[in-house]
Amino acid sequence: MKLVKGFIFLLVISSIFSANSFASTTDVRIWVKAFIPKEHPERPGYLIKTKKGTWVVKSPISSEGCFESDNRLFSKDPNASARVTVDIRLRAKGNRLQIKNKLVKIGQTHYVDCMTGKNLKKPRRQSKDSVIIGDVKSIGKLNILNIKIGSSNPFLASPNIDYEMVVEHHVDKNKLVLKPVVGYFPSFEAYYQIGKGSIKNLHKTPPHKGSTAWSLIDLGLGFNTRNLKGLVIPLR
């Protein structure tokens, strides 16, 4: 009888741990950026090229002052200049999704002369307080992670750049489904990498039509936002 009870105990313990103990592990790196591009596809004259060769946006409060862009278009380089970068590493194993590492970067803001591109004031950097990376929440066979990105111009009393993303880990289908909501301005991009594999694009979203920095104003009501769909990361 003792042997039978011991065998049953081992079976119970084995059933509890076997699912995750022998499940395959997939490491996924996802990075998201909000950046001011050097070109606005719908407003060709909105960005100005300085004598320095940089691209700038006119200040709404000064005829001489401008704010430097990130002087680039879309780039899969994780270190590419941006107003805000969230770089997160996830591990999917069995029915679990873990955050292994997370990094938040806020780019410097340069207030410059519109003609020369030289700094009019010392560059400033906004705090990371408006960037929120939540904990993974589990609901049955679904794990959910919420990411909220926000950053404002440290020289102005300006509204935040808006970018929110829900990451869903569908255990049964062995995939991640990403659901971003992005603002009308500036540009937004997201990429992923599984293990040490190739870097793949999730989305590249330029400024919306005739939008400008003023399009950041939404009074907290969700105006001037775009829902992106169909972003799936298949897990091996």
The string of pLDDT tens digits covering residues 211-236 is 888 777 664 555 678 999 889 999 97
What's the pTM?
A: 0.87
pLDDT at residue number 162: 84
Cis peptide bond upstream of 154, omega within 30: no
Phi, psi of 162 (to 5 degrees): -110, 125
The distance of Cα 159 from the centroid of its chain, to the nearest Å, equals 18
pLDDT at residue number 194: 97
Domain locations in the chain as residue ranges: 23-234
Neighbours of 23 (CB within 10 A): 14
Residue 2 has pLDDT above 80, yes or no: no
> Range with the lowest mean pLDDT among 29-33, 151-155, 178-182?
151-155
pLDDT at residue number 217: 66
What pLDDT band is residue 158 in, cutting at 50, 70 and 90? confident
pLDDT at residue number 1: 52
Residue 34 has pLDDT above 90, yes or no: yes
